[in-house]
Amino acid sequence: MKIGITCYPTYGGSGIVATELGIELANRGHDVHFVSYANPIRLDTGNPRVHYHEVEVSTYPLFQYPPYCLALASRMAEVAERYDLDLLHVHYAIPHSISALLAQQMQAPSRKLPFITTLHGTDITLVGTDRSYLRITRFSIAASNAVTSISEYLCQRTREVFGVTGDIRVIPNFVNCDLYHPSPELREHTPLAPPGEKVLIHLSNFRPVKRTQDCIRILAEVRRHVAAHLLMVGDGPDRGPCEQLAAGLGVERHVSFLGKQNHVERLLPQADVLLLPSELESFGLAALEGMACGVPPIATRVGGLPELVTHGEDGYLESVADVAAHAARAVELLTDASLYERVSAAARATARRRFCTNLIIPRYEALYAEVCERYAGL
Ligand code: GMT
């Protein structure tokens, strides 16, 4: 098929999922056209079936707010026409599904261009705090030819927030288990931490919802019992406060801030435990990527995380802000080798059994075929 994908190309889970989906689809023989304002992160494949079309937004002085939504719609329509696209798949409702709807209408009646909207979470929670997006988001969800959400939790929330009664298909996020895999050798001898120290890792965009400072507090607590080093991967508004807190708690030598990294599959296998103390996660992609690498997550019991992590089996779920409980779980795992091996193996097994690309990508392919067939008959 010829598929147009739109996402936010920034350092966020929705962009990562959209990018990885496009790459996997291209590996399976589809032609994938990314339409966005910048090259999506992690899109560094040499696959000739992956194309990127930039949306240029005019900065004419009259426009205090450049109309990105319209420029995107226009580019979507242009790409659909030139490359004979079968459908558009947009990740994140605001404003991508409205742009897709406009592109669809611009093509009609000569070309049938259905579009699918995948909800990732913040597109729904944002509406919770900014009601000005409520009506337009509800409208764009209803106008989509299919809607998917990345967890049961998010599906439920969408129904509650928007009163949506139509079909929302839950297709969970996925991980390439061949690319993301454990490496006991690397874990034993990582160059990223002093020899003999255990390694904790956190991966996010350092937004307040991630509670990144809790990671620093957890490390400080863990170090009272076990020699450990923390890798903080990513960047965002709370990086500065984290650095200050590390200095304040006297653990700055034991924390490495690695900034934004594209190849997290090379970093994760070097860690023993993944920390995800978020206030909310609709899915928790970082936890899944860690699990595929055999790195047990210690996360919060919020949002979609309980659909991914089974407490005590393949990771741990604790209350938000309960630093002592998160630290105690880390100490437990890091000091009991047989417990560690069991939980680590179970984490990897969960990723393989339930969330591997070879299980999830065919579900998107089936949906694409179904939507195209249904839309052709309209
Ligand atoms: O969490 C973020 O800051 C980024 C955000 C996004 O929309 O890019 O992530 C959301 O989508 C990810 C991929 O589906 C999920 O793994 C995250 O849990 C979700 N974030 C939240 O719900 C807060």
Rounded CA gap, 280 and 304, in Å? 8
Say which range, 23-27, 135-139, 209-213, has the weakest mean pLDDT.
135-139
CATH dotted code for 184-354? 3.40.50.2000
Q: Which residues are CB-neighbours of 104 under 8 A, at least 6 positions away?
A: 88, 113, 114, 115
CA of 204 to the centre of ligand 1 (A): 9
Q: Which residue has the higher pLDDT, 43 or 329?
A: 329
Residues 299-334 pLDDT 10s: 999 999 999 999 999 999 999 999 999 999 999 999
CA of 286 to the centre of ligand 1 (A): 10
For residue 332, the SS3 value is helix
Residues 66-101 pLDDT 10s: 899 999 999 999 999 999 999 999 999 889 999 999
**115 CB near ligand 1 (under 6 Å):** no
Count of other CB atoms within 10 angstroms of residue 257: 16
Residues 216-265 pLDDT 10s: 999 999 999 999 999 999 999 999 999 999 999 999 999 999 999 989 99
**236 CB near ligand 1 (under 6 Å):** no
**pLDDT mean over 3-28:** 93
- Residue 85: what pLDDT? 97
CA of 285 to the centre of ligand 1 (A): 8
Peptide bond into 95 cis (omega under 30): yes
**pLDDT mean over 52-57:** 92
Domains of the chain by residue range: 2-174+357-376, 184-354
- Residue 262: what pLDDT? 87
Nearest C-alpha neighbor of 316 from the set 293, 339, 292: 339
Q: Of all protein residues, whose CA lies closest to atom 13 belonging to ligand 1?
A: 13
Which residues on adjacent β-strands are paired with residue 169? Answer: 148
Report which DSSP code applies to 38. Answer: S
Contact status, residue 153 vs residue 304, Cβ threshold 8 Å:
yes
Q: Which residues are CB-neighbours of 11 under 8 A, at least 6 positions away?
A: 41, 205, 234, 235, 236, 260
Which pTM value belongs to this model? Answer: 0.95
**9 CB near ligand 1 (under 6 Å):** no
Vertex 127: Cα angle to 122 and 133 (nearest 5): 120
Query: What tokens were used for 210?
Result: 């991630």
Share of the chain above pLDDT 90, in %: 83
**pLDDT mean over 190-214:** 97
Nearest C-alpha neighbor of 73 from the set 101, 31, 53: 101
Residues 132-187 pLDDT 10s: 888 888 999 999 999 999 999 999 999 998 888 899 999 999 999 999 999 999 99
**pLDDT mean over 34-63:** 85
Residues 96-120 pLDDT 10s: 999 999 999 999 988 899 999 999 9
CATH architecture of 2-174+357-376: 3-Layer(aba) Sandwich (3.40)
Report which DSSP code applies to 315. Answer: B
Nearest C-alpha neighbor of 357 from the set 151, 177, 227: 177
pLDDT band at 123 (very low <50, low <70, confident <90, very high): confident
- Residue 254: what pLDDT? 98
Which of 239, 283, 291, 307 to mutate to test ligand 1, by most ligand atoms within 8 A of the CB atom? 283
